[in-house]
Structure 1
Amino acid sequence: MPGGNGPRRWAAAGVGPLLGARARRRWVHLILGGALLMPYFLLAEVVVGLMAGVGNVLGSPRLTFAAYGASLPLVAATAVFALVRPMSVGAVRALCGVPGERLADGPARTWRARGRTSAWWTLHLGVGAAVSGMSLAVPPMAVVLIALPFVPRLREVPMGDGWFAAAAAPYTAPLLGIGLLCGLVLCAAAAGALLARAAPVLLGSTAADRLAAAEERAADLAVRNRLARELHDAVGHALSAVTLQASAARRVLDDDPGFVREALAAIEDTTRRTVGELDAVLGLLREGDGADGAAGPGPAPTLAADLDGLLARSRAAGVPITAHQDPEPPGDWARLPALASREGYRIVQEGLSNALRHGTGPVELWIAVRGDEDGTRRELEITMTNPPDTADGAKPRGTGGRGLRGAAERAALLGGRVEAGPDGGRWRLRAVLPLGGEER
């Protein structure tokens, strides 16, 4: 009957917090703390024994508690080491039933966090040692008391002169033994609940931890965005060019074999070049990670070294391109800052990719270095225009997709800007990248 489960549920609700799975795991956590205290206790025992002139400290309850108290400052001092907090957090997550998001990750970064970790370490080991001692001493004592009325030989065993001997009456001893076991369970449950409540306070994230975690997430996101930009620009342009070249070759396959051969050669050159750019992209993402001392990949493409090849590959895809450069090559292009030259190349590459995918006519490209007469402010200006694709009722492009957003991000990283949109019946992309006071 449904009502018959009521007493059983009440019993489970009453016993669960004391002997349930979570309570048992917390008990194990406390015993682990007691085991970790033993090296400190043994060291303190030696010191206390020498000071008291006693060989066996454990023979005196007063000296035993003195050694226990002397071990706690040693525990607190060693908690400043970096490994203590991660180890404690792992144990709490596994055994105390505390949600992981309420605890900090990694070592303590500030002295305040180290102080909180020290308080936790001392609390865990100190309370754990007390519960461990009770767990070792109480069960044998309780078993003797419970069995005392039923085993006559136990009554002949000397019980000592303390309260244990006075309480060991044959008919009251079992009640005392059961009470001791219940008291042990209650103490262990209370100590486990205490540590579970203290863990988020002492092992929780500090403001420095939250700031470090946010910075780590931001850095990871920046790396992922950088990877997305580099792959989009390097691979996207190559795929656009190869697609147009293959499509043109397919249309004239039977009529113009010479053009087909040229298109296939251009495809081969484009793909080979793209593999090299992929190596350069991976090299950029691994900057600063050269612990093995191995030689990295080739340099990333730049305006100074690779613009002519980019224009040639784009022209081979069938798009007329007129380029205007100021100063004219070789000029001072090699003296551009490496970062500006690299990002400028990617912006030009993205503009040409858009022209290949969406344009219908010739592309006009202007690249110039502008600056004040005294050279205090210099900028690299890139402007590209081409007719948009509006055939068959197609709408002109808006402000661009991922590629143009990536170009804007590249420019923003250098303190520059990118503008893209319709301009007098043509599509116009303009980027301005600051170069600082002088080129180098």
Structure 2
Amino acid sequence: MTARTLARALLGRRARLRWVHLVLGGALLMPFWLVAALVVLPVAGGGNAFLGSSVAAQFGAYAVALPLAWVAGLFPLVRPLSVGMARALCGVDGARFADGPARGGAARRRTAGWFTLHVGVGGILSGMLLALPPFAVSVMLLPFAPGLRDWLRLPASLDTAWALALAPFAGLAMLLLLALCATAAGALLARCAPVLLGPTPADRLAAAEQRAAELAVRNRLARELHDSVGHALSAVSLQASAARRVLDSDPAFVREALAAIEDTTRRTVGELDAVLGLLREGDTAAKAPAPTLADDLPGLLDRTRATGTAVTAQTGVDAAALPVLVSREAYRIVQEGLGNALRHAPGSPVDLRIAVSGDEVEIVLENPLSPGSPAASEGSGPGARPGSLTGSPAGSRSGGGHGLAGIADRARLLGGSASAGPCGGPGEAGWRLAVRLPLTPSGGGTR
């Protein structure tokens, strides 16, 4: 090891930061030491409460202060403070530390152990930093200041020419020893910090739950955007295409199509702003409520019919009487089902049925398929039946989108079920989407 490497290890930036960390530990020990000194020093027979007491009494107060520090370390907020100091000063990767207050007895005990170790080692080293440098400098000056010999009360055996000649080297050795002790103590704390302040199983579980909650919010926002924007774009595309074809021959139809496009885009921009508002940090503006069956089912059907698609609706349910959560998710399911019909079977009639069956709401959408579509060929057998959307290949539709998966997620979160797939016999290939939602949602549907 070269002199430069040794100097960097003892006095480099990392070493200096660790020295500061140790001195902070010594400062944190002082209140506990003072409380212990009020009890220990008088019992030990020290003349003065703090100054002039024996070394044994000083270490006795230190020994009593450590259990007091351990008790203080049990408080949950000690961990964030300790982690903050360790991250900034110990030179350890911050990702190895736990975040937040200590959860559970194991985390509190580990934090208390770290706090005791930090203040204990820091207290010893702080005492050495206060006492040893002045003494070492005094020893180095012995050959040049005879008065220091009496002040230090050196034994006669050390008051020789050889001893005085070696005194400067002895002083330098003391300072080097102090640097080595500080470096070793800093390295010890850096090694123990991730072990005692790292995440416990409870912390990892809480972090996993937090990530799952964030992912659920992201998935919900993705579904909202997919359903509202996807349906609007499909409707607008068909309306614009139909208007283009009859631009010269049927101006009245073109005006109706443009009005429908304007209405659809205006509503979609409002829904898009409401969804994106959830992503704006600190956004306290009032958010537009999510549409429900009771609010906008007739409007949704009218906008779909404006594309030239014939929609037959049988709604044997009082939408206003449905729970808001069920009504909201049912609206999005119907919206996505109609959007699928517009994308995959444009111009084909759609049959929508919404009814209450027992304690469930049943939603069924059916539409014929184009003769050449892959889904049409799948449904060419008399035994063709819709498949569950929980992972069955029958739950996928030509085009590879995520709408059916979103429908399945909505139904599952409410404790319901969903299925989709080809239906009908030869020559009558169609697509059927069937969803059942409980009137009393269960599971994770309270988003």
Could you say which TM-score interval applies, normalised by the shorter chain? 0.7 to 0.9
Q: Which runs of 5+ in 1 are unaligned?
A: 1-8
Work out which of the residue numbers 14, 20, 29 in structure 2 matches 1:28: 20
Could you tell me whether the CA contact under 8 Å between 2:354 and 2:362 is conserved in 1? yes
CA distance in structure 1 between the partners assigned to 2:86 and 2:156 by the alignment: 37
Q: TM-score, normalised by structure 1?
A: 0.83
| Aligned 1:36-435 pairs, distance under 5 A | 36-48=28-40, 54-60=47-53, 61-149=55-143, 151-155=144-148, 158-160=151-153, 169-278=163-272, 281=275, 296-325=286-315, 327=316, 331-371=317-357, 375=358, 377-388=359-370, 390=372, 397-398=397-398, 400-424=400-424, 425-435=429-439
CA distance in structure 1 between the partners assigned to 2:438 and 2:172 by the alignment: 82
- What does the per-residue CA deviation read over 1:354-406, in whole Å, with 9 as the maximum and x for residues that have no partner? 222221332322323353xxx4x534232332324848xx9994385122211
Could you tell me whether the CA contact under 8 Å between 1:246 and 1:263 is conserved in 2? yes
- What does the per-residue CA deviation read over 1:329-366, in whole Å, with 9 as the maximum and x for residues that have no partner? xx533222322221111111011112222213323223
Could you tell me whether the CA contact under 8 Å between 1:382 and 1:431 is conserved in 2? yes
CA distance in structure 1 between the partners assigned to 2:368 and 2:295 by the alignment: 25
CA distance in structure 1 between the partners assigned to 2:225 and 2:42 by the alignment: 71
- Give the 3-state SS of the residue equivalent to 1:41 in structure 2: helix
Could you tell me whether the CA contact under 8 Å between 1:159 and 1:165 is conserved in 2? no
- What does the per-residue CA deviation read over 1:212-240, in whole Å, with 9 as the maximum and x for residues that have no partner? 00000000000000011011111221222
- What does the per-residue CA deviation read over 1:66-113, in whole Å, with 9 as the maximum and x for residues that have no partner? 332332233222223333111211221222122223221111011221
Shift of 1:159: 1.2
CA distance in structure 2 between the partners assigned to 1:315 and 1:164 by the alignment: 111
Q: 1:54 to 1:257 in 2, by over 3 A?
A: farther
Amino acid at match of 2:37: E
Could you tell me whether the CA contact under 8 Å between 1:358 and 1:389 is conserved in 2? no
Amino acid at match of 2:291: P
CA distance in structure 2 between the partners assigned to 1:398 and 1:243 by the alignment: 19
Q: 1:305 to 1:152 in 2, by over 3 A?
A: closer
Shift of 1:49: 5.2
CA distance in structure 2 between the partners assigned to 1:55 and 1:113 by the alignment: 40
CA distance in structure 1 between the partners assigned to 2:254 and 2:166 by the alignment: 106
CA distance in structure 1 between the partners assigned to 2:345 and 2:159 by the alignment: 102
Amino acid at match of 2:403: G
CA distance in structure 1 between the partners assigned to 2:356 and 2:156 by the alignment: 97
- Give the 3-state SS of the residue equivalent to 2:165 in structure 1: coil
- What does the per-residue CA deviation read over 1:169-201, in whole Å, with 9 as the maximum and x for residues that have no partner? 412322321221122122112211211221122
Deviates more, 1:241-250 or 1:229-238: 241-250
- Give the 3-state SS of the residue equivalent to 1:253 in structure 2: coil
Could you tell me whether the CA contact under 8 Å between 2:270 and 2:288 is conserved in 1? yes
CA distance in structure 1 between the partners assigned to 2:319 and 2:367 by the alignment: 22
Q: 1:436 to 1:155 in 2, by over 3 A?
A: closer
CA distance in structure 2 between the partners assigned to 1:304 and 1:166 by the alignment: 102
Shift of 1:166: 7.5
Could you tell me whether the CA contact under 8 Å between 2:352 and 2:365 is conserved in 1? yes
CA distance in structure 1 between the partners assigned to 2:235 and 2:398 by the alignment: 22
- What does the per-residue CA deviation read over 1:19-64, in whole Å, with 9 as the maximum and x for residues that have no partner? 4433332222111211222233334334445655744423122332
Q: 1:146 to 1:23 in 2, by over 3 A?
A: same
Aligned to 1:3: none
Shift of 1:153: 4.5
Q: 1:119 to 1:164 in 2, by over 3 A?
A: farther
Could you tell me whether the CA contact under 8 Å between 1:388 and 1:427 is conserved in 2? no
CA distance in structure 2 between the partners assigned to 1:361 and 1:253 by the alignment: 19
Could you tell me whether the CA contact under 8 Å between 1:58 and 1:64 is conserved in 2? no
Q: 1:281 to 1:152 in 2, by over 3 A?
A: closer
Could you tell me whether the CA contact under 8 Å between 1:29 and 1:91 is conserved in 2? yes
- Give the 3-state SS of the residue equivalent to 1:170 in structure 2: helix
Q: 1:121 to 1:155 in 2, by over 3 A?
A: closer
Q: 1:28 to 1:280 in 2, by over 3 A?
A: closer
Q: 1:346 to 1:257 in 2, by over 3 A?
A: same
Q: 1:134 to 1:277 in 2, by over 3 A?
A: same
- Give the 3-state SS of the residue equivalent to 1:58 in structure 2: coil
Deviates more, 1:16-25 or 1:99-108: 16-25
Amino acid at match of 1:183: L
CA distance in structure 2 between the partners assigned to 1:418 and 1:205 by the alignment: 40
